[in-house]
Every structure is written in structure tokens, then in C-alpha cells.
Amino acid sequence: MRVSIIGCGTVGASWAALFLAHGHDVTATDPAPGARERLDAFVESARRQLADLGLRGEGRLRFVAGTAEALEGAEYVQENAPENEALKRALLAEIDRQAAPEVLIASSTSALVRSAIVADCARPERVLVAHPFNPPHLVPLVEIVAGDAQVAARAAALYRGLGRRPVILRREMPGHIANRLASALYREAVNLVAEGVASVADIDAALCHGPGLRWALMGPHLTYHLGGGPGGIAHYLEHLGPSQERRWASLGRPALTPEVRAAIAAGVAAEAGSLGIADLEARRDRALIAILKARTPVAPEPEDQP
Amino acid sequence: MRVSIIGCGTVGASWAALFLAHGHDVTATDPAPGARERLDAFVESARRQLADLGLRGEGRLRFVAGTAEALEGAEYVQENAPENEALKRALLAEIDRQAAPEVLIASSTSALVRSAIVADCARPERVLVAHPFNPPHLVPLVEIVAGDAQVAARAAALYRGLGRRPVILRREMPGHIANRLASALYREAVNLVAEGVASVADIDAALCHGPGLRWALMGPHLTYHLGGGPGGIAHYLEHLGPSQERRWASLGRPALTPEVRAAIAAGVAAEAGSLGIADLEARRDRALIAILKARTPVAPEPEDQP
């Protein structure tokens, strides 16, 4: 398949590496100075990570000067421009004008909703949101928002072919699913710092040595299903639902004041110790690869259902 | 060390298995009919899991008829009675009267705060909360709430010796840390079901194939530190803090109505397919053991700090 990657920041470069490692040819473009060099460097380091995961495809990578050239012969388009509604709206309209009519156009947008960014497209039905998680070449989730169920199904099949785990939203929602869950959790994580309950490092440790460990294997609903004993989630909700609702009422509503932001930044600095961002990213990627090799999610995959 | 386990439900039995696998002798008691048989069965199956993790200690397990006998010669006490404030308050006062004065008494309470349950103790300073995560013999987190910093430090050292990751709260908070984070996330997971955004199975998948995968390796603050690029968390909070606050304001405030509870239960049933609770628990435990063997958390442990 010939894939067009429009926008080669961290997300676009990671998508490019994933398509290439699955043997697809990628034509990429990005107007930023130095974009080609950053793309080549990212793809080379991601290539080694993906080979470690058994993905040794050798698609051809071409970097070109503009969107029109990048779209020549494209059979799939993944757009990864900055999270600016006017910019994406105009860019998707331009891609929609130039790409062959049967080609699906996917936007990686995390913060914008599909209805807003397809508003100027002549063929909006073939334009979808396919939002990955950082780094997209390692984290399997792809959140799909489409205006047409067949488009969603075609895109989901394509991402499954890339070893991703697509999730199809029944309707659009700002932040889609996963970033809303993350944001809800982060609000309380900030509250616990603001309230002086524990250090930033200990709040982070409480997640990754506790519920976070289980959440790499199953989501919150299945987790409470196992928390309900033999009666499962129905028993859990009947007997502990009221205490969940009391807990919800007790959650904090912090503001990111300069003081709170400073406390978080100081706490993260203490947590990271001597490790800089690049060190932490390298540790994260090595650890992600290790658990991706080791884990078996608890819930059966839909296609595994009897 | 001689450990007294007061209350042998899932949590107490799991604690017993962990102490035994580290070579400590355990004296356990529980008034429930059949408690001894359930304890023996749990300890035997957990013993195999812990051996798989390299823990092959062979402490002696004794089940006795009552609290007084269980406390004879105890050097550490782990209380795991039902989450009933009056019951725990009276039980901890009884344990405090009977245990040798220098012995620390830890309560596994998840829902109650320390100040309430130690109120009738003659020596409250040696009574602490040490809250584990299910299943405690596999999940490393232990949340510690003590009235005395030296007691907290002594208990933390003991749990580190059991391969746990203790986190010391600076002040008590209902739900401690991790269950508050989990509850905040669950509120939005319920909201997404109530709003019909996706199926229960897809909401669960969005967590465990997305942010949950990273949260097995690092907490939310460090995750956003890496989301901030070279500028880290300070840059993230300065530039994306306002969008976090807008997201927080947009989060749902669902109620667990009969309709919502039924939709969640039906969705979990579809997600679990033919797998019953015991199957799912076995899959969870196998998967937990696999990622515990494979993972290296991203943040350096405090003792590793230069």
C-alpha cells in the first residue's frame, strides 16, 4: 500500500515508522525546517524497536516538498498537523480535493472533533479521525470516529493489519475516550498534590505499582467485574455503587495555579532524578516493548469470541 | 518473623501467602465457617504463582480459633476484617490490648481512615493503615498511613522486604491515593457508557491498549512530563494546562441508575464472552506475573537516586 503522511512531528514520524515496518511505502511531507532530517532519525531508531517486536517490513520512505506531491498515488492518508482547528479544517479540505475519491483520509487529531475539521470537505464521509497514543508505533490503541459505519470498519481493518487495537466511537466526543479517562484521573492526581497528600513521585508510584499495573491488562469495567466476587459487576454496582458515588462526590476540583504547577514541576524533577527527557523516553520505550512482548490482555479480543 | 493475619478473606489469604513465600511464619484466624479450608486452598494456589516469581520461602502456616491465640508471639499484625468502621474500631482496640507493645499493627482497610479506626486504641501510634491492591501477593503497591513518621518508615521497610512498593501518605485521605485515582477514572468510564459513546468492551480496550499500558510503567505526572517535549512538565502545564482545565470542566457526572448499571452489566457480559470470573481471575494473575517479570518502571526507585 502507498501511504501519505501529512505532517511529520512525533506522531507523523511514528506512524511512518509503523507503516514502513509493515512493508508499506510512505510518502511524507512537512513544511517545518529540518523536518526531513528529524523524520529520518526517528524512523531509523523506531525501525530497530519495531524489528525487536518482529516487524521487519521494508517499505520505501520518500520525503517530498508539498501536500500535492505527497498525495500522488496515495492509497491511504494519515494527517498529523498541529492541533489548530482552522489549520486542520483547511488542510483536510485541500487533501480531500487532491486525493483520489476512494481513498480514506484519517486525521490523528486528539483535541478536535471530526464534525468541525471535515466541515469544508467536499467528501466528508471518507474523512475520519484515527487518533493514536504516544508513541503510536508502540502503543496499540487507535480511536476511530467516522461519519459512515463502512468507513469506520474499513479503517479499523487497516489498523488491525498494522497490529493496532482500533476502537470505534459510536458518536464523536471531545477527547474521544482514552484522553477523557486520562484527564479525569489526572484531575485527582493534581488534587492530591495540591492537598499535600503525598509527593508527586509517590502519587505516580501508587498508580504504576497499583491499578496501572492491572490497567495494562484490562479496563475499569472488567476490573470492577473481578472486584465484585462471584457476583461480578452487577453485584459490585449493587453493593458498592453507592460508595463509588460518594467517592465521586469527594473528588477534588483543583485549579492549575502557578503554585500548584510549581509544586508538580518540582515533584517531577525530584522523581526523575538525574534522568532527562531523552533518558526517560528511552526507558519508556524499552519498557513498553518488554511488556508488549509479555502481556496477554484479560478480555478476549472480539474476533476470539466463540 | 512471626506474623499474625487477622481475617482471612481474599486480602488476608493473599497477605498470608506473601509472608509465607518470604519465609515468615503466619498464624491466621477468621471466624467465618470454612475459612480455614478457603485459606489453605488460596495459599496453595498462590504458593505456585509466587514460586514462579522466584519466591520459594517456606514459612509455617497455622490457623487458630481466635484473635487472642493468633496474636501469641506475633511480631507483626496484618488486620483484614470487613470494611465496617465499628467492627474494625473494636477489633483494632482488642488487638492493641493483646499484642506486645512494640509490635506494629497494620490494617488493610481501603475505605476507612486511620483516625476513625484507631480511636479506641490505647497505643494508637503503633497502629497504621497498610492498604494493598488486589491481589496483594502479586500487585506491589502498599499505601501506608501512620500517626508517626518512624512507624511509617519501619512499616515501609518491612513491606519493601516483601518486594512491595510502599507509598507513605503525608496525611490521611478517604480512599488513600490509588482508589481515588481509580474512582475518578471510573466516573468518566461510566459516563461514556451512559452517553453511548462506545461499548463497555471498547471503553475497556481504550484504557488497556492505550494509557493503561503506559501507566503500568509510570504515573500520570511523569507521563505528562514526557508529553511536554523537551520542556517537560513545566512546558506541558504552561501550554496545555488550560486545555486540561477545559477538559476537566467537560467531564461527566453520571449517576449509577438502574438503567446505567444494567447497560454496564450487559456490556461486561458481552466483553467477557464465555469467560467466567474464575477464568478471568486466572488470566489476570497469569498476565500480572508475566508483566511483573518483564517490566522496568520508568522512574528510578528512591534508593536508586544518585
- ipTM of predicted assembly, 2 dp: 0.97
Nearest partner of B142 among B281, A247, B134, B150, judged by Cα: B134
- From chain A, the residues in CB contact with B13 under 8 A are none
What pLDDT shows up at residue A301?
82
Average of pLDDT values for B225-243?
93
pTM: 0.96
Question: What is the least distance, in Å, from the CA of B1 to any CA of chain A?
Answer: 25
Residue B228 in this model has a pLDDT that exceeds 90: no
Per residue in A162-195, pLDDT (tens digit) is 999 999 999 999 999 999 999 999 999 999 999 9
Are A284 and B214 a contacting pair at CB < 8 A?
Answer: yes
Q: Which of B215, B256, B275 has the CB atom closest to A241's CB atom?
A: B256
- Taking contacts as CB-CB distances below 8 angstroms, the residues of chain B near A273 are 300, 304-306
The SS3 assignment for B92 reads: helix
| pLDDT tens for each residue of B14-38 | 999 999 999 999 999 999 999 999 9
Which chain B positions have a beta carbon within 8 Å of A245's beta carbon? 255-256
Mean pLDDT across B142-171? 97
The per-residue pLDDT for B304 is 52
When CB atoms are compared, the residue of A198, A218, A248 closest to B204 is A218
Spatial separation of the C-alpha atoms in residues A64 and A36, rounded to whole Å = 9
Count CB-CB contacts under 10 A for residue A160.
15
Mutate which of B114, B181, B295 to disrupt the A interface (most A C-beta within 10 Å)? B181
C-alpha cell belonging to residue A72: 500522488
Contact A203 B296 (CB under 8 A): no
> Per the CB < 8 Å rule, is A272 touching B208?
no
Backbone Cα Rg of chain B:
21
Mean pLDDT over A201-207 rounds to 98
Count of CB atoms situated within 10 Å of the CB of A260: 17
Which residue among A206, A220, A237 places its CB closest to the CB of B185? A220
Sign, Cα dihedral of B125, B129, B130, B136 = positive
Chain A environment of B279 (Cβ under 8 Å): none
Residue B306 has pLDDT above 50, yes or no: no
Q: Let me know the angle formed at the C-alpha of B168 by B57 and B122, rounded to the nearest 5 degrees.
A: 90
User: Cβ contacts (< 8 Å) between B237 and chain A: which residues?
Assistant: 256, 261, 264-265
pLDDT the model gives residue B46: 97
Q: What's the CATH code, domain B2-168?
A: 3.40.50.720
Q: Is the pLDDT score of A305 beyond 50?
A: no
Domain layout of chain A by residue ranges: 2-168, 178-273
- AA letter at B35: A
**Residues in A touching B255 (Cβ below 8 Å):** 245
- What per-residue confidence (pLDDT) applies to B305? 46
Cis peptide before B31 (omega within 30 of 0): no
The verdict on domain A178-273 having CATH code 3.40.50.620 is: no
End-to-end CA distance of chain A: 32
**Which phi and psi angles does A140 have, rounded to 5°?**
-75, -25
CA pair distance B253, B272, nearest whole angstrom:
26
Question: How far does Cα B125 stand from its chain's mean position?
Answer: 22
